[in-house]
């Protein structure tokens, strides 16, 4: 299987030399030309960047933060993240923490920076990290990070600025749970978190920015943290996040110059990509999934789930969601991994075969009558277009899908409770911990299935220290998802990040590749 770039996961920069050097499961090439390193002389300071948010967030309490796009990226602007993840290579680098190391993959030592304080003066030390992580893994916790941290056996502040995690078994992917892919990477002031309800709307962190004001469903205004641990940063004076649910409004604001950064739907890629003052970066990871609930309703029958595997055609989907195959070639074997990743499985998806799909549906109908299902999807115009497309394709094979549009919070709740017969799944990530949790029976469990072989493969994909073993396990996962008809990926993630050419993004040593996890401590605006 081709590899377009190396997939090394570097641990513990500046820590013990006897570390296990692990490798990530990603490996796809960068989308677009990487930005060249910027010299300090070129960087301009000041200015307030305007960002369009896809949806409002539930709040800033880390145990209530869910995913990137629905708030994690905004919380990180205030709290930073312990570690940084390159989503193409899965390389882990220092961020708020100095690094993480292990000699055996089972005992991990997280080293913190000395002298870092939260904006309320509370020290960001080992006890603060333990306090925050403990909230995620508490017995009554409903945090989305709980499953990601389930490998932890013991955790202790082994020094003033050192936290030692001992896992139940070796896990090569554990450091990823402390990156921006997980709310466990967000560390709030224990003093402020003594009142979680207040913290949820008035967060206190040690990140590059601090909260100035928040008008829900409108504007979140952040100002520069003058005492940020990384001296000289942030370069910006502030950030304003504006809730722009409608994709056309986001696109129009970007084109007019009112917004510096926004998610643009696939249908507008050609329009935006032709504007010289805007840079368009398709998100290299993630995808769009159709998820049947195997635990209730008609999709409890294997035949109907199998029918979904033969219902969709990539070229048709590309035309509906992306304006044609110039933007996506219609193949989904790698989805949700980057194209070319060694975790991809050839033949992970079947070609469209409507006759086969109809045959399976007719077999079900002969016994149970015509299948009519409830299809829960996001109440966002671009996702509604996707839902209508899925509805029409299902009708082609004899399945009636009644659309139920819900907001992001209700979608998250329906997903968590299994309150759906068919679910629209969307993610801008791949691998562990986000997609892993969506597959694992003890996590979000998208398909509401309990398949021992799938869980075993997922644990191997998470825990193996060896790169080849982890990649082979992800391929096995893809095969089980197909063979047991757990879900079907119908397209890559249907949004792209687009920004004004006046906005410069990146993290030291890592040019921004279009990830929805945007760090702003090094962002700057051309004046």
Q: Count how many Cα atoms sit within 13 Å of the Cα of residue 307 in the half-sphere of its side chain.
A: 28
Q: How many CB atoms lie within 10 A of CB 168?
A: 12
- pLDDT on residue 14: 32
Q: How far apart are CA 425 and CA 76, in angstroms?
A: 24
What is the pLDDT at residue 269? 87
Question: Starting from the edge strand earliest in sequence, which strands make up the sheet with 209-215, in order?
Answer: 209-215, 219-224, 238-243, 48-53, 261-265, 495-500, 278-282
Query: Which class is domain 41-54+208-276+501-527?
Result: alpha beta
The structural architecture, per CATH, of the domain 287-492 is Roll (3.10)
DSSP for 248-275, please give it. Answer: HHHHHHHHHTS-SEEEEEGGGHHHHHT-
pLDDT reported for residue 370: 97
From first to last of its 527 residues, the chain has per-residue pLDDT tens of 332 322 333 333 333 323 333 333 333 222 233 344 456 669 999 999 999 998 899 999 999 998 888 899 999 999 999 999 988 878 899 999 999 999 999 999 999 999 999 999 999 999 999 999 999 999 999 998 998 898 899 999 999 999 999 999 999 999 999 999 999 999 999 999 999 999 999 999 999 999 999 999 999 999 999 999 999 999 999 999 999 988 889 999 999 999 999 999 888 888 898 899 999 998 889 999 999 999 999 999 999 999 999 999 999 999 999 888 777 889 999 999 988 889 999 999 999 999 999 999 999 999 999 999 999 999 988 889 999 999 999 999 999 999 999 988 899 889 989 999 999 999 988 998 889 989 999 888 999 999 999 999 999 998 898 878 999 999 999 999 999 999 999 999 988 999 999 999 998 888 898 999 999 999 999 98
Rounded Cα distance between 304 and 60, Å, is 40
Quick count: other Cβ atoms within 10 Å of Cβ 502? 15
Q: Which CATH number fits domain 57-203: 3.90.76.10, 3.30.2130.10, 2.40.30.10, 3.30.70.270?
A: 3.90.76.10
Residue 380 is predicted with a pLDDT of 82
Indicate the domain borders of the chain.
41-54+208-276+501-527, 57-203, 287-492
Pairing between β-strand 422-427 and β-strand 372-378 as defined by DSSP bridges: parallel
Supply angle C-alpha 23, 25, 26, rounded to 5: 110
Determine the Cα–Cα distance for residues 187 and 65; give it in Å rounded to an integer.
12
pLDDT score at 527 = 81
pLDDT at 29: 27
């Amino acid at each position: 299987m081709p590899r377009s770039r190396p997939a090394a996961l570097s641990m513990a920069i500046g820590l013990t030399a006897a570390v296990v050097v692990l490798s990530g499961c990603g490996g796809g090439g960068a989308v677009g030309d990487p930005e060249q390193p910027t010299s300090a002389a070129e960087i301009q300071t000041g200015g307030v960047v305007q960002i369009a948010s896809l949806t409002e967030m539930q709040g800033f309490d880390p145990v209530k933060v869910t995913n990137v796009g629905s708030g994690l990226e905004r919380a990180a602007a205030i709290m930073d993240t312990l570690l940084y993840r390159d989503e193409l290579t899965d390389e882990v680098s220092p961020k708020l923490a100095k690094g993480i190391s292990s000699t055996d993959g089972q005992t991990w030592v997280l080293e913190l920076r000395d002298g870092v304080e939260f904006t309320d003066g509370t020290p960001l030390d080992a006890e603060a990290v333990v306090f925050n992580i403990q909230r995620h893994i508490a017995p009554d916790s409903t945090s989305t990070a709980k499953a990601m941290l389930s490998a932890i056996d013991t955790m202790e502040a082994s020094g003033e600025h050192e936290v030692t995690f001992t896992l139940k078994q070796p896990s090569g992917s554990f450091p990823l749970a402390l990156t921006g892919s997980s709310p466990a990477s967000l560390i709030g002031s224990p003093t402020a978190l003594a009142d979680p309800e207040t913290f949820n709307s008035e967060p206190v962190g040690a990140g590059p920015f601090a909260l100035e004001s928040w008008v829900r469903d409108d504007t979140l205004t952040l100002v520069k943290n003058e005492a940020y641990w990384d001296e000289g940063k942030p370069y910006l004076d502030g950030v304003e996040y504006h809730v722009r649910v409608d994709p056309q409004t986001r696109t129009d604001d970007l084109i007019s110059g009112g917004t510096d950064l926004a998610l643009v739907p696939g249908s507008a890629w050609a329009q935006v990509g032709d504007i010289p003052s805007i840079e368009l970066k398709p998100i290299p990871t993630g995808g769009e999934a159709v998820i049947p609930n195997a635990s209730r309703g008609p999709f409890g029958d294997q035949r109907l789930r199998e029918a979904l595997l033969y219902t969709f055609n990539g070229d048709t989907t590309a035309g509906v969601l992306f304006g044609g195959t110039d933007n996506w070639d219609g193949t989904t074997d790698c989805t949700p991994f980057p194209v070319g990743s060694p975790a991809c499985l050839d033949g992970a998806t079947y070609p469209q075969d409507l006759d086969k799909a109809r045959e399976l549906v007719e077999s079900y109908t002969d016994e149970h009558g015509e299948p009519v299902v409830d299809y829960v999807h996001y109440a966002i115009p671009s996702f509604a277009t996707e839902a209508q497309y899925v509805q029409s394709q299902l009708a082609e094979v004899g399945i009636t899908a009644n659309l139920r549009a819900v907001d992001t919070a209700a979608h998250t709740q329906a997903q968590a409770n299994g309150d759906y017969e068919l679910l629209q799944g969307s993610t801008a990530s791949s691998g562990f911990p986000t997609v892993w949790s969506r597959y694992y029976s003890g996590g979000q469990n998208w398909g509401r299935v309990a398949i021992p072989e799938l869980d075993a493969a997922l644990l191997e994909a998470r825990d193996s220290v060896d790169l080849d073993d982890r990649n082979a396990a992800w391929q096995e996962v893809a095969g089980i998802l197909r063979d047991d008809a757990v879900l079907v990926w119908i397209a890559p993630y249907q949004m792209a990040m687009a920004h004004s050419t006046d906005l410069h993004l990146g993290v030291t040593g890592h040019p921004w590749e279009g990830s929805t996890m945007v760090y702003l401590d090094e962002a700057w605006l051309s004046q």
